[in-house]
Structure 1
Amino acid sequence: MTEKDTLKRSLGPWAIVGLGLGYMTPTVVFDTFGIVSEETNGVVPLAYIVALIVMLFTAVSYGKMVQVFPSAGSAYTYTRETMNPHLGFLVGWAALLDYLLLPMVNALIIRIYMESVFPDVPAWIWVVGYVIIVTGINVWSMGKTSSLNSILVTFEIVLIAAFIVLAFVKLYNGMGQGTILTTAPLFHANVEMTAVLTGATVVCFSFIGFDAITMYTEEAKNSKVMPKAIMLTVLIGGGIFFVAGYFAQALFPDVSNFNVTDDTLPEIGLYVGGTIFKMIFLAGAFAATTASGLASHASVSRLLYVMGRNGVLPRKVFGYVHPKFRTPVYSVIIVGVVSLLAISPSLELISAVINFGALIAFTFVNLSVIAYFVFRKKRYKTPKDFFSYVIMPVIGAGLTGVLWYFLHADALIAGLVWITIGFIYMLFLTKFFRTKMADFEMDEAEKSAAL
């Protein structure tokens, strides 16, 4: 491939962490608070702890694999190169369900915010306007996307800090639990672990982003920083989710105060700081969701680009890189078109379906570590290697499997339908397995690292 056909290396380590945090959208803890609080019977921060533990094991596996295959493509590339091209395609197809729907979720959340402020304006206007802006920025430049994302992420973190200060005052004055230090948000008599695990499958949605930053590997100034960037994204994001979830749960032990549980952020802002803070809080959440929209839109277009470059999607469309902007312009536009579907669906349903694709990706990244290091490299003979390449990924895959078991039925049904469509497409693509999947063209550095 010539230079004009490759992505531009313009991202430093903190820019990548910022994109990950932007993708994760720290304020989403307030959006899904009502859903998770109702699901877990009032222990939202505990659900985040469970999810964080699972994510940490999986993050370690992502860090290992991104060093072996320093290219965009994430779980799709890792499974394809370590196990089987057909299985890799199905994993990539499942991950598409996750990555394609998340930009749509951001558009959906923006719609909900704007409807709460301007209830008389048709919903489609907000969705169309938002999608056009985010798509245009992503077409223009990855560097511009990163810079704007950093500003928006900083703004939302400041707003979350302001919420914590106001929550501190409200608790001190007797609201909610009436005390700043309480174990009730973590455990009480009516807590059931099955409900907590079900809640953890919902909040996994909040962590989607640490894995997506592997999509930016080909645009990192130095791909060796990726493992550190992945861990920092998980730990910083998880810390924000836990602290914000703790104070929100202490203030609102149940959901009885909320008129709309599908997205409780506007009402949380109102109850904690009044009308003025609600508007500021909404502005911060708007910034956060826009940051996530920019990051998620960018990452899924990179996955489509890699699948197009490999020939498993039409190469002329998905594998095309604009010669001036050096961005996968057609893939970016297609993601924008899909995001327009945010005009009507429910946040709870779409977030549950997203988790299907995410959990498949997480499971196979853990298995890819075993397939590559144990079966190909024979790295299991020393205690250190056995712990790193067998025990750790097995625990990661096992914990992900537990979340699989508690996934919502609607998400399983929708996910299995999507996988079936992908399998039928693969049969067509390979002429019922009579031809091979298209070969992935790694550059020389990638080839030597993978050997």
Structure 2
Amino acid sequence: MNKESATLKRSLKLWQIVLMGIGYMTPMVVFDTFGIASETTGGHVPTAYILALIAMLLTAESYRKMIQIFPNAGSAYTYTQRTINRHIGFLVGWCALMDYLFLPMVNALIFEIYLSAFFPNIPAWIWVVVFVAFITLLNLRSVDFTANSNTFLVFFQVAIVVLFIAEACKALLNGAGTGKIISLQPFLSEGMDPSLLISGATLLCFSYLGFDAVAMLSEETEHPKRTIPRAMFLTALIGGILFIVASYFIQSVFPSAADFHDPEASSPEIAMMIGGTIFQTIFLAGGIAGTLSSGMSSHASVSRLLYAMGRDNLLPKKFFGYIHPKFRTPSFNVILVGVISLTAMFFNLATATSFINFGALIAFTFVNLSVISYYVFQKRMHKTVKGFFNYILMPSIGAVVIGLLWFNLEKNSLILGLCWAAAGFLYLIYITKGFKVNPMTVDFTQNEEVKTF
């Protein structure tokens, strides 16, 4: 296959897609965020995870409806430009780049923190280079190779969660925490404040980021209209179950945030108090596996988003729309993301993390709005009771839930996000010559087959 005819290869199966999404979400993150979540919820983290899961499943349902119509790489960017407005679609994709571009950087920084703690005499920047080089090389290979490598890392993390649960059960039987393996206390208690649960759910929603990223792999998936919606639902559901079960046992052993010296760094304390130094080392290995799996999946996703925007001629097509003829991957984009990730050497974790949330919320918001725009205003499929429920009520509830997250978005994320969006708007003015020229090469006038749900 020559470079002119090279396309993305449809080879991924359902289980590979699900594990890529779970790898993006990082199962071990439940331990890292538990302390601050317990403090926020007043000791009811599992309930907050349940509320967050409901919010994500509502948005996953909107993704499902859009993927059935547009089974292409690009996710929220593609849906918005095809249902609402081309220019708004570009800006949604531009903002989503924040989420996807900065997550590999965040993982590189976390990897650096882990390894620097063990090897303090080695310059920290070396660990960033090692991480980025490894992830980039894996993503340059075929998408199957990337998915299979990610599978091992996800199962390793799940194994550590299972090991923790076993150790937690032993501690509970010995009288630690609630002293009961089965108890409602982590979920409900007298005098529980619902507002704290909502705040906790807002915080923990960001643990679910990644279930949406699998939509970027639509053009590399067998039967995408059927497989990708299932994969998104299963990714959110399985990830949610992992978070809920793990947080239940952590909360049972540590009923209050006061049990931690530093709630913002709860993972090492949990490991030490449950199983000592050896278990803490195992937790460290799991944390490293988590950064690798999340870094691998996020790197793959952002390179596909850049490919979609390049193919549409919104970014220089010869570079961003290129597919390697042998590996069938957007290799130039993969390398570019690797180069950008190296700038993690000049960021701190707080700054890099603050970029992520804005882009994710933009994507979630416009996916819900795209459902309403397409099915209601374009296809007029809302006039029955079923249509009203599917195409107005459900996406509206999803949008309202995401609105609550917007309301709780930290100030730095909002400021940095708006600056990034402004830069994208200026670039859009440039490539459209003041909105007088349409640079896009995709035909939006084709009639898509619409299914009812």
Taking structure 2 as the reference length, the TM-score comes to: 0.93
Q: Please state whether the residue corresponding to 1:221 is helix, strand or coil.
A: coil
State how 1:413-432 maps to structure 2 within 5 Å. 413-432=415-434
- Structure 1: distance between partners of 2:202 and 2:344: 22
**Superposed displacement of residue 408, structure 1:** 1.4
Q: Please, which of 262, 271, 274 is the counterpart of residue 272 of structure 1? A: 274
Q: Contact between 2:41 and 2:197, CA under 8 Å: does it hold in 1?
A: yes
Alpha-carbon displacement from aligned partner over 1:9-31 (angstroms, at most 9, x marks no partner): 11011111111111111111112
Q: Contact between 1:198 and 1:407, CA under 8 Å: does it hold in 2?
A: no
Q: Contact between 2:94 and 2:421, CA under 8 Å: does it hold in 1?
A: yes
Q: Contact between 2:16 and 2:147, CA under 8 Å: does it hold in 1?
A: yes
- Structure 1: distance between partners of 2:256 and 2:347: 25
Counterpart position of 2:56: 55
**Superposed displacement of residue 187, structure 1:** 4.3
AA of the residue aligned to 1:226: I
Alpha-carbon displacement from aligned partner over 1:324-370 (angstroms, at most 9, x marks no partner): 21111111112112222333645455444312111111111011111
**Superposed displacement of residue 285, structure 1:** 2.4
- Structure 1: distance between partners of 2:258 and 2:307: 46
Q: Contact between 1:139 and 1:325, CA under 8 Å: does it hold in 2?
A: yes
Measured at CA, do residues 266 and 92 of structure 1 come closer, stay the same or move farther in structure 2, by a change above 3 Å? same
Q: Please state whether the residue corresponding to 1:449 is helix, strand or coil.
A: coil
Counterpart position of 2:227: 225
**Superposed displacement of residue 300, structure 1:** 0.7
Instruction: Provide runs of 4+ in structure 1 moved above 6 Å.
Output: none
Q: Contact between 2:59 and 2:368, CA under 8 Å: does it hold in 1?
A: yes
Counterpart position of 2:358: 356
- Structure 2: distance between partners of 1:190 and 1:350: 37
1:331 and 2:333 correspond: yes
Q: Please state whether the residue corresponding to 2:449 is helix, strand or coil.
A: helix
Q: Contact between 1:91 and 1:361, CA under 8 Å: does it hold in 2?
A: yes
Q: Please state whether the residue corresponding to 2:440 is helix, strand or coil.
A: coil
Measured at CA, do residues 246 and 307 of structure 1 come closer, stay the same or move farther in structure 2, by a change above 3 Å? same
Q: Contact between 2:27 and 2:239, CA under 8 Å: does it hold in 1?
A: yes
Counterpart position of 1:371: 373
Counterpart position of 1:196: 197
AA of the residue aligned to 1:225: T
Measured at CA, do residues 262 and 118 of structure 1 come closer, stay the same or move farther in structure 2, by a change above 3 Å? farther
Q: Please state whether the residue corresponding to 1:78 is helix, strand or coil.
A: helix
Alpha-carbon displacement from aligned partner over 1:128-160 (angstroms, at most 9, x marks no partner): 101100001101221110111111111111111
Counterpart position of 2:396: 394
RMSD, matched Cα: 2.3
Mean CA deviation greater in 119-128 or 174-183: 174-183
Alpha-carbon displacement from aligned partner over 1:266-290 (angstroms, at most 9, x marks no partner): 3322221111111122222222221
Q: Contact between 2:303 and 2:337, CA under 8 Å: does it hold in 1?
A: yes
Mean CA deviation greater in 267-276 or 132-141: 267-276
- Structure 1: distance between partners of 2:188 and 2:318: 54
Gap regions ≥5 residues in structure 1: none
Q: Please state whether the residue corresponding to 1:52 is helix, strand or coil.
A: helix
- Structure 1: distance between partners of 2:33 and 2:310: 34
Q: Contact between 1:312 and 1:438, CA under 8 Å: does it hold in 2?
A: yes
Measured at CA, do residues 113 and 263 of structure 1 come closer, stay the same or move farther in structure 2, by a change above 3 Å? farther
Q: Contact between 1:48 and 1:241, CA under 8 Å: does it hold in 2?
A: yes
Counterpart position of 1:206: 207
State how 1:293-332 maps to structure 2 within 5 Å. 293-332=295-334
- Structure 1: distance between partners of 2:335 and 2:195: 41
**Superposed displacement of residue 262, structure 1:** 4.2
- Structure 2: distance between partners of 1:38 and 1:230: 30
Gap regions ≥5 residues in structure 2: none
**Superposed displacement of residue 2, structure 1:** 8.2
1:449 and 2:411 correspond: no
Q: Contact between 1:311 and 1:438, CA under 8 Å: does it hold in 2?
A: yes
Counterpart position of 1:44: 45
1:240 and 2:242 correspond: yes
